[in-house]
């Protein structure tokens, strides 16, 4: 009763993909690193349904609402797949009045019927990874902790010194616009134009302001003097000395916020990573205070001047939304790798009366994955097995020792040790060895009839150099099997940790602590990787 | 610009729910335990899209196909939300011809437009947790390892000795049906009737066979003699002595399989947990070899005879599918908590030529959650913070020490220690203490101006009894802050592990290893929990 082949193409839906193998291992590693940071700061996770009532999402995403996936009307409620994790979080807070304060993280897939660009990681189904602090607290303390968290995440991912957190405040930005003479109703559109300064020269942004958005040229020019400014507390002090700005109420609030923020960033030891950048505006309308965006060298890949000049000009990006930097133009790069800010009014859009102010950050997992998979070796292990249990022999009378292998595995499993064997009654030795090698299993436990008769098995560390004293392995007692193995595993883990800390080194030998040689080794070519700043 | 309250009810869609708080913590704990076991056996995880092409799911679920969620036709491909993880896995294997062997696990949500029964954990969106071994291997070794894995999972979840793995083989079952004289075309329907023996008495099952399915009464009676049989290898030997059975080819294959299986189960040390049960049939059509189903006392809750007699008889369950035991009848209980088997032909339904034989198990997370949440204390911690950093004081001149608290938190975070403080400039001491207590944070680090001046802070273990020598905490040096804290955390973790192993005990004191008192304590009432067998 062999089934017939189906008549349609077997594939995943457009803009979606399967994850497996080394990609999956790397992605899980990224999730683990990020989750550990979130937990270190007292984060708790929540889980919301993958679809929401259609009404919940309606009116939250402006013209991008057309990208929302709807479920078919099969009777009952009309539902849509979630578009992000922020609106479901706001809905969650609005529903549960008991939760007035929470530090929540949520790592989950979201859905957008956008044009996919698979190579850049722009998919229709993709992961978001959000941390938000909700609740009424003394000003700017949670905002500063979010920046501390951003630092710990990227340091933890091995990008220490390779990222910059651009920082601004909606209050300061709006103050500048007001002082420069932007009419109130034009503040958000003008803000959107400013947000494009990381992709367009000022001349183009000015043109958009004046020609498309009807701003007076002298107002645009006045804005132009401010939005090029970057710095840290020095920039804040410079702005504070500007009497015209200092007289604006929104600006005063912004000054107060940023002053506190810089104080707290010092205490959290992360001032070095931020750039107070007046060109940062962020697209989404709902931000009400501090905003930030994390960039790395990979955010905008290097293009030679000649190449850039050679390129025909692309049409301008659409109005500033969170996705605009996911353009198909390859010079744009992968864009920001995390972004967020304070949004104090979103929960109120559901609850009406009860406001729960929030500040948060969303990490772009797919972009982070692209950067890390380009810089990391492909030698990631595909599984986590520590010991491959093998039978030695091969003669006519070779029994395969399946029972003994099973029992040895069982004893390792009982002790919590990750172990594997071939599902074969009489496996060839080289096949067992190859299986261990292919998966990068660090230890082979080799069973032979003679050794077993003496109550012993051979433990061999894989990949030792030919001249290593333990190259041929060592006999260990069956009686204390799990303990003997665990000692070697622990030693190797310690060594590996030391080596990883040293960076660019690889242990060339030693399953015994006393017996270590550490050799420098050139790391894999990193031509495409962002250079250390 | 305060937003207006929306006019519709703020809720999650029917049959879905949010997860947060203690429920989420317990669910994560279950996932971690299960994932650790999967990794211990060399499992790797894959991730597939939440929706598949409609055609992929078509024709796989029989009459339950009506429960599939479709996406709206918004142009482009027609898609449906996945109904289980098995069909996407088979599709994945059929697409990637390079993968001929894999031990994969997948923990993800699936979707069924069923009538929800929230109290029993029957939801429209729910988690499945699957481990499958795909590939051609020597017979029955992977099948036995699956049973080993089931044991490790339930032992790991604290259900050691409280579950039974019912075991049968489609080859043996079909052999019995053939020998008894069931016509070939009736074998699956009769098999479905047998599958109901865990919920219906034999008389009712016989009636269904004879009256609904047209089986000759003498054939039914012959079946009845077999399907009541239970045992281990003894039952296999008993069947092997039956000359009529021994002459049947399907039976011979089944005997060979079960003989090997019992040998391997002995080697894996798990024979004690299985019951070779001829009444186990499993609903799904695609099983081709060994089948299993895990039950616990909670699978069918105790009902007094009076209660049972009092209850009007409910209509019979629908034909045997994987969900039938999720009936609304409260006497049915939560049903099996894991189920699976060998399915050698499913991948071929997509690939046509290439067959990849598979054997696997699916753990019913929601049912396991129900059991564990009924037996476990509600004192699960809501976050994982180990140290709550507080400022002591309260007089008029109290500064709140926000800078110092931030710096201390920073040093702990730098060392990877989970720490938290109140986001308040001048917090009241009792509010800080209460926050730590509410979340069950084990240690308080208390900053006072006098102590800081001496380069010291106070570390206090929370919840110590009044007469404990360290009740008031101990002063530790700021200089080695992180190390000093880490030592105490490690000691407490070790103690907690010892106590957990001892079971039903609780440490009443001691943040120093030398200083431990362990007291027996009555555990929380367990009236509703299944008793130890």
Question: How confident is residue A101, by pLDDT bands cut at 50, 70 and 90?
Answer: very high
- Give ∠ CA A113-A340-A24 in degrees, rounded to 5: 55
A54-68, A317-331, A452-466, B279-293: which is most confident: A452-466
What residues in B contact A344, CB-CB < 8 Å?
Answer: none
What residues in B contact A94, CB-CB < 8 Å?
Answer: 10
Q: Is the pLDDT confidence value at B301 over 60?
A: no
A310 is in an annotated binding site: no
pLDDT recorded at residue B511: 40
| Whole-number average pLDDT of chain B | 85
What is the second-level CATH architecture of the domain A21-304+315-375?
2-Layer Sandwich (3.30)
In this structure, how many other beta carbons lie within 10 angstroms of the beta carbon of residue A191?
21
What residues in A contact B111, CB-CB < 8 Å?
Answer: 50
Most A-contacting residue of B56, B98, B107, B383 (CB-CB within 10 A), to test interface: B383
- In the 8-state DSSP scheme, what is residue B47? B
Please provide the size of chain A in residues.
533
Asked which of A208-222, A372-386, A469-483, B283-297 is least confident by mean pLDDT, the reply is A372-386
- Residue-by-residue DSSP string for A455-472: TEEEEEETT--TT-TTTT
Q: Residues B369-401: pLDDT tens digits?
A: 988 888 766 566 778 999 999 999 867 788 899
Strand partners, B390: B446
> In sequence order, which ranges of B279-401 are alpha helices (DSSP H)?
305-310, 348-351, 365-375
CA distance B180 to chain A (A): 23
What residues in A contact B141, CB-CB < 8 Å?
Answer: 402, 423-425
Please provide the size of chain B in residues.
533
Which pairing describes strands A387-391 and A443-447: parallel, antiparallel, or unpaired? parallel
pLDDT recorded at residue A285: 75
What residues in A contact B25, CB-CB < 8 Å?
Answer: 44
Question: How confident is residue A117, by pLDDT bands cut at 50, 70 and 90?
Answer: confident
Most A-contacting residue of B413, B421, B432, B486 (CB-CB within 10 A), to test interface: B413
Which pairing describes strands B443-447 and B387-391: parallel, antiparallel, or unpaired? parallel
CA distance B414 to chain A (A): 8
Which helix (H) or strand (E) is A268 found in, with range?
none
Mean pLDDT of A416-430: 95
Q: Residues A288-335: pLDDT tens digits?
A: 999 999 998 766 544 433 444 444 444 433 333 333 333 433 324 567
- CA dist B23 and B382 (Å) reads 9
Is B91 in contact with A10 (Cβ distance < 8 A)?
A: yes
Q: Is the pLDDT confidence value at A375 over 80?
A: no
Q: Tell me which residue in B10, B77, B414 faces A95 most closely, judged by beta carbons.
A: B10
| Whole-number average pLDDT of chain A | 85
Question: How confident is residue B512, by pLDDT bands cut at 50, 70 and 90?
Answer: very low
pLDDT recorded at residue A298: 62
> In sequence order, which ranges of A66-140 are alpha helices (DSSP H)?
86-95
Q: Of A385 and B532, which is predicted with more confidence?
A: A385
Label residues A439-469 b or e (16+ Cβ within 10 Å = b).
bebbbbbbbbeebeeeebbbbbbeebeeebe
Contact B513, B491 (CB under 8 A): yes
pLDDT recorded at residue B507: 40
Asked which of A68-72, A111-115, B203-207, B323-327 is least confident by mean pLDDT, the reply is B323-327
Mean pLDDT of B153-164: 95
- CA dist A329 and A301 (Å) reads 11
- CA dist A173 and B523 (Å) reads 59
Which residues have CB under 8 Å from B410's CB, separation 6+?
A148, A267, A268, A269
Mean pLDDT of B408-414: 96
Q: Tell me which residue in B45, B95, B439 faces A10 most closely, judged by beta carbons.
A: B95
- CA dist B193 and B294 (Å) reads 19
Q: Measured on CA atoms in the order A260, A263, A268, A274, is the torsion positive or negative?
A: positive
Neighbour-count burial of A257, counting CB atoms closer than 10 A to its CB (0-12 exposed, 13-18 middle, 19+ buried): buried
Is B25 in contact with A41 (Cβ distance < 8 A)?
A: no
CA distance B326 to chain A (A): 21
Q: Tell me which residue in A70, A79, A137 faces B424 most closely, judged by beta carbons.
A: A137
Contact A163, A285 (CB under 8 A): no
SS3 B413: helix
Contact B124, B112 (CB under 8 A): yes
- Residue-by-residue DSSP string for B335-357: --SEEEEEESSTTHHHHTT----
The question of ipTM being above 0.90 is answered as no
Question: How confident is residue B308, by pLDDT bands cut at 50, 70 and 90?
Answer: very low
Is B51 in contact with A350 (Cβ distance < 8 A)?
A: no
Label residues B31-68 b or e (16+ Cβ within 10 Å = b).
eebbbebbbbbbbbbbbbbbbbbbbbbeebbeebeebb
Q: Is the pLDDT confidence value at B533 over 80?
A: no
Q: Is the pLDDT confidence value at B359 over 70?
A: yes
pLDDT recorded at residue B299: 66
pLDDT recorded at residue A371: 87
Contact A365, A290 (CB under 8 A): no
Is B39 in contact with A384 (Cβ distance < 8 A)?
A: yes
Strands (E), B137-289: 163-169, 230-231, 274-277
Is B40 in contact with A76 (Cβ distance < 8 A)?
A: no
pLDDT recorded at residue A4: 58
Instruction: Determine the topology of domain B387-520 in CATH.
Output: Rossmann fold (3.40.50)
CATH class for domain B21-308+315-375? alpha beta
Most B-contacting residue of A170, A273, A349, A423 (CB-CB within 10 A), to test interface: A423
pLDDT recorded at residue A300: 57
Is B419 in contact with A142 (Cβ distance < 8 A)?
A: no
Is A267 in contact with B403 (Cβ distance < 8 A)?
A: yes
Most A-contacting residue of B9, B20, B101 (CB-CB within 10 A), to test interface: B20
Which residues have CB under 8 Å from B127's CB, separation 6+?
B27, B107, B108, B109, B110, B365, B366
Is A125 in contact with B49 (Cβ distance < 8 A)?
A: yes
Q: Is the pLDDT confidence value at A519 over 70?
A: no
pLDDT recorded at residue A332: 41
Is A91 in contact with B268 (Cβ distance < 8 A)?
A: no
- CA dist A6 and A322 (Å) reads 41
Q: Tell me which residue in A10, A18, A96 faces B46 most closely, judged by beta carbons.
A: A18
Strands (E), A112-260: 125-134, 163-169, 230-231
A128 is in an annotated binding site: yes
Residues of chain B with CATH 3.30.930.10: 21-308+315-375
What residues in A contact B55, CB-CB < 8 Å?
Answer: 6, 8
Q: Is the pLDDT confidence value at A90 over 90?
A: yes
Q: Residues A127-176: pLDDT tens digits?
A: 999 999 999 999 999 999 999 999 999 999 999 999 999 999 999 999 99
Question: How confident is residue B506, by pLDDT bands cut at 50, 70 and 90?
Answer: very low
Is A40 in contact with B72 (Cβ distance < 8 A)?
A: no
Residues of chain A with CATH 3.30.930.10: 21-304+315-375
Q: Shortest CA distance to B308 belongs to which of B318, B320, B317, B300?
A: B300
Taking the CA atoms of residue B233, residue B235, residue B238 and residue B242 in that order, the dihedral angle to the nearest 10 degrees is -120
Contact A240, A251 (CB under 8 A): no
Residues of chain B with CATH 3.40.50.800: 387-520
Question: How confident is residue A503, by pLDDT bands cut at 50, 70 and 90?
Answer: low
Is B406 in contact with A267 (Cβ distance < 8 A)?
A: yes
Most B-contacting residue of A37, A51, A271, A435 (CB-CB within 10 A), to test interface: A51
For chain B, percent of residues with pLDDT exceeding 90: 66
Q: Residues A427-455: pLDDT tens digits?
A: 999 999 999 998 889 999 999 999 999 99
pLDDT recorded at residue B378: 56
For chain B, percent of residues with pLDDT exceeding 70: 84
pLDDT recorded at residue A521: 38
Q: Tell me which residue in B10, B49, B103 faces A16 most closely, judged by beta carbons.
A: B49
- CA dist A48 and A110 (Å) reads 11
Is A24 in contact with B45 (Cβ distance < 8 A)?
A: yes
Is A413 in contact with B41 (Cβ distance < 8 A)?
A: yes
């Amino acid at each position: 009763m062999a089934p017939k082949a189906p008549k349609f193409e077997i594939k995943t839906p457009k803009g979606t993909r399967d994850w497996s193998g080394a990609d999956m291992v790397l992605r899980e590693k990224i999730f683990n690193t990020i989750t550990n940071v979130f937990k270190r700061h007292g984060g708790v996770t929540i889980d919301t349904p993958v679809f929401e009532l259609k009404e919940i999402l309606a009116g939250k995403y402006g013209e991008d609402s057309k990208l929302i996936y709807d479920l078919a009307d099969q009777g009952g409620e009309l539902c849509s797949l979630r578009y992000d994790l922020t609106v479901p979080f706001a809905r969650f807070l609005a529903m549960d009045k008991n939760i007035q304060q929470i530090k929540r993280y949520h790592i989950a897939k979201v859905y957008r019927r956008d044009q996919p660009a698979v190579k850049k990681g722009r998919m229709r189904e993709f992961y978001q990874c959000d941390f938000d602090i909700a609740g009424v607290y003394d000003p700017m303390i949670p905002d500063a902790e979010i920046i501390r968290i951003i630092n710990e995440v990227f340091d933890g991912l091995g990008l220490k010194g390779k990222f910059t957190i651009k920082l601004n405040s909606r209050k300061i930005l709006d103050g500048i616009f007001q002082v420069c003479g932007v009419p109130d109703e034009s503040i958000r559109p003008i803000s959107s134009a400013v947000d494009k300064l990381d992709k367009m020269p000022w001349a183009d942004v000015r043109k958009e302001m004046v020609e498309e958005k009807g701003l007076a040229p002298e107002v645009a020019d006045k804005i132009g003097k401010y939005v090029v400014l970057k710095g840290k507390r020095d920039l804040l002090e410079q702005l504070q000395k500007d009497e015209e700005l200092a007289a604006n109420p929104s600006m005063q609030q912004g000054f107060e916020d940023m002053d506190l923020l810089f104080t707290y960033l010092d205490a959290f030891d992360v001032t070095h990573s931020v750039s107070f950048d007046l060109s940062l505006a962020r697209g989404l309308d709902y931000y009400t205070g501090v905003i930030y965006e994390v960039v790395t060298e990979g955010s905008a890949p290097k293009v030679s001047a000649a190449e850039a000049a050679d390129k025909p000009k692309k049409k301008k990006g659409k109005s500033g939304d969170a996705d605009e930097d996911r353009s198909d133009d390859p010079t744009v790069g992968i864009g920001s790798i995390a972004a967020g800010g304070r949004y104090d009014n979103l929960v109120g859009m559901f609850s009406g009366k009860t406001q729960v102010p929030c500040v948060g950050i969303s990490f772009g997992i797919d972009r982070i994955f692209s950067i890390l998979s380009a810089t990391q070796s492909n030698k990631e292990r595909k599984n986590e097995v520590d010991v491959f249990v093998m039978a030695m022999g091969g003669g006519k009378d070779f029994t395969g020792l399946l029972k003994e292998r099973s029992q040895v595995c069982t004893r390792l499993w009982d002790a919590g040790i990750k172990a594997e064997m071939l599902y074969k009654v009489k496996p060839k030795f080289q096949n067992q060895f190859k299986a261990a090698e292919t998966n990068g299993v660090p230890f082979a436990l080799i069973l032979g009839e003679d050794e077993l008769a003496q109550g012993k098995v051979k433990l061999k560390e894989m990949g030792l150099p030919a001249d290593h004293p333990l190259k041929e392995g060592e006999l260990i007692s069956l009686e204390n099997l799990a303990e003997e193995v665990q000692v070697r595993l622990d030693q190797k883990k310690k060594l590996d940790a030391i080596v990883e800390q040293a960076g660019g080194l690889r242990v060339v030998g030693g399953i015994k602590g006393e017996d270590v040689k550490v050799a420098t080794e050139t790391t894999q070519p990193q031509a495409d990787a962002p250079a250390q700043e």
